[in-house]
Amino acid sequence: AAERSLVLIKPDAVRRGLVGEILGRFERKGLVIEEMVLRTMDAELADQHYAEHVDKAFYPPLKDFMTGGPLVAVVISGDEAIDVVRAMIGATDGRKAAAGTLRGDLSLSNRENLVHASDSPDSAKRELALWFPHL
């Protein structure tokens, strides 16, 4: 069934000039870009977005990274878009992500892994409300 997912093209991808490459892969797959904005995350939004990670050891450097430059927030829709986008992104750690995935092809880091995407219908609903409250 048709779904919406929240995708963040992270600051490392913007810095490296990979926004077009990443959006192009989603477009060629047949997914639809419904909304998009270039924005720099502030500390409050980072804590809300990553609520499940705020107490983890990797969170402080993750927060510095995610608030350290502009990112592109995108609403992507399509049939089973949540799982389809996750599969296209690959495993969290770019060193272990399969070739053919975005992270597998373009990232060599567990933190600077280019893209975030909602991992379930519940997280999509929560994250879309945070980033695109009018939807």
HSE of 122, CA atoms in CB hemisphere, 13 A: 0
Q: Three-class SS of residue 134?
A: coil
Residue 49 is among the residues annotated as catalytic for this protein = no
Cα maximum dimension of the chain: 38
User: What is the CA angle 66-16-72, rounded to 5?
Assistant: 50
Residue 64 as a binder of ligand CMP (CB under 6 A): the answer is: no
95 appears as a binding residue in the annotation: no
Q: 124 or 134, CB closer to ligand CMP?
A: 124
Q: Which of 27, 37, 51, 58 binds ligand CMP (CB under 6 A)?
A: 58
| Closest separation in Å from C-beta 59 to ligand CMP | 8
Which residue lies nearer to ligand CMP by CB, 42 or 134? Answer: 42
What is the end-to-end Cα distance of the chain in Å, rounded? 18
Q: Which two tokens stand for residue 34?
A: 């419904």
Is 78:88 a contact under the CB 8 Å cutoff? no
Residue 4: helix, strand or coil by DSSP?
A: strand
Residue 58 marked in a binding site = yes
Q: Is 113 annotated as a binding residue?
A: yes
Binding status of residue 41 toward ligand CMP by CB under 6 A: no
> Is residue 67 a contact point for ligand CMP (CB under 6 A)?
no
Q: Does 114 bind ligand CMP (CB under 6 A)?
A: no
Which residue positions form the known binding site for ATP? Answer: 10, 58, 86, 92, 103, 113
